[in-house]
A and B are shown apart, each in its own frame.
Chain A
């Protein structure tokens, strides 16, 4: 009896496939039933085709419009997957990629359900490519140019040496604000560079753990020291803006190349044209890096670029350079990506300018450091570089001129 039951079961099992519906032949060009709502041919569904693969191998872009419009089936319609209670992996990932998946999460971040942001790939490529390359070369080239200039021109000496009579150039509060700005900028610069270059250069050299500790510390320093930078930037602006308004003496300064080339020393007030360039560079770039930094410090709460691009498009700025109009409908993530790139680009420019400033304030010019060190400069130095300012002091504020030697 048992033998007969077993035989019947075996025959039934062998016969079952015959009763099942025909399976899809993956090599067939025939329409695949159940892959989309309207049962369209495979080439118009979200599934990848041979042509797509060949196109990708030729270096062409995948046909995203088709992909994004046809996201494949669900658990029941995916071929062969329905009984398993799941849709195919490729369908799920395609839905995630085009933000069509039913993502549920516990974050309060309104952008938290975007798991794959295709639009950010160019940002990552740019950050890891041209930004690092050109930014790094800019700094290295600046250092090389300054080094070459030093070798050619040498240190700019005080003609006739020091007189022993000193002139008060900057008050304590001015010098302190300068050093808050300088110290915070150097900290921000180094921590920013670690963040940008750490993964590429520090991990291979020192390992992941070192880089992790360094970048965690860098993040704390960068986020919190930024406030000292912004406060001192405002102080410096308020204290020195009046002295940095361009005037006709700047033209003379430019004509004589600031006295750097040759032996002439053009007349100048408290700030000469070169210093005015440094001042306005620091203010403009500093404000720009601060605003983009605040946008990064408070993610998604200070979008800057949609509106800015709209204004620039209104002026037709991109057309001046032969580019298409700038994008104005930016996703929140794209806003952050533009903010990051702008922050880094401006910071690189500012670092290059400040390298020049540090050079001329220390190695490049005798007596210049005293202005920010003790605040007292030698009278001969003042006469050589700021003759109009010295004459003004001699006539109006003789109390600022001391006979005790400058430090």
Chain B
């Protein structure tokens, strides 16, 4: 049971880390494909 819970916690940690890592790398399509002059946010 500990292994299962540890695994589920690992999923959350990896997922959150992936989100912030990819965002900081400018992964999203709005970052990749739009120039600054078309973004209002």
B34–A225 CB distance below 8 A: no
Chosen A-B contacts, 6 in total, with CB atoms closer than 8 Å, are A109-B33, A183-B7, A223-B18, A224-B18, A227-B14, A374-B1
B19–A224 CB distance below 8 A: yes
Q: How far is the CB of B39 from chain A (nearest CB, A)?
A: 10
Proximity string of chain A (217-241) to chain B, C-beta cutoff 8 Å, 1 when within and 0 when not: 0001101111110011000000000
Interface presence of A178 (CB below 8 A): yes
CA distance A363 to B15 in the complex (A): 30
CA distance A72 to B15 in the complex (A): 52
CA distance A112 to B10 in the complex (A): 38
- New A-B contacts (19) at CB < 8 Å, excluding given A107-B33, A176-B6, A228-B11: A106-B34, A106-B37, A107-B34, A108-B34, A108-B35, A109-B33, A176-B7, A176-B10, A178-B3, A179-B6, A179-B7, A180-B8, A180-B11, A183-B8, A187-B11, A223-B18, A223-B19, A225-B15, A374-B1
Identity of the chain A residue whose Cβ is nearest the Cβ of B33 in the assembled complex: A109
B34–A373 CB distance below 8 A: no
Identity of the chain B residue whose Cβ is nearest the Cβ of A227 in the assembled complex: B18
A228–B1 CB distance below 8 A: no
Proximity string of chain B (10-26) to chain A, C-beta cutoff 8 Å, 1 when within and 0 when not: 11001110110010000
Q: How far is the CB of B5 from chain A (nearest CB, A)?
A: 8
B10–A180 CB distance below 8 A: yes
B15–A179 CB distance below 8 A: no
Partner of A228, one of B15, B32, B35, B37: B15
Partner of A227, one of B4, B7, B15, B32: B15
CA distance A228 to B15 in the complex (A): 7
Q: How far is the CB of A300 from chain B (nearest CB, A)?
A: 9
State whether A180 and B7 are in contact (beta carbons under 8 Å apart), knowing that A106-B38, A228-B14, A374-B1 are contacts in the complex: yes
A179–B4 CB distance below 8 A: yes
State whether A182 and B7 are in contact (beta carbons under 8 Å apart), knowing that A106-B38, A108-B33 are contacts in the complex: yes
Identity of the chain B residue whose Cβ is nearest the Cβ of A172 in the assembled complex: B3
Q: Which of B7, B22, B38 has the largest count of A CB atoms less than 10 A from its CB?
A: B7
Interface presence of A356 (CB below 8 A): no
Partner of B10, one of A107, A228, A372, A374: A228
CA distance A176 to B5 in the complex (A): 8
A299–B19 CB distance below 8 A: no
Q: How far is the CB of B25 from chain A (nearest CB, A)?
A: 11
Interface presence of A184 (CB below 8 A): yes
A179–B35 CB distance below 8 A: no
B11–A225 CB distance below 8 A: yes
Q: How far is the CB of B27 from chain A (nearest CB, A)?
A: 8
CA distance A172 to B18 in the complex (A): 24
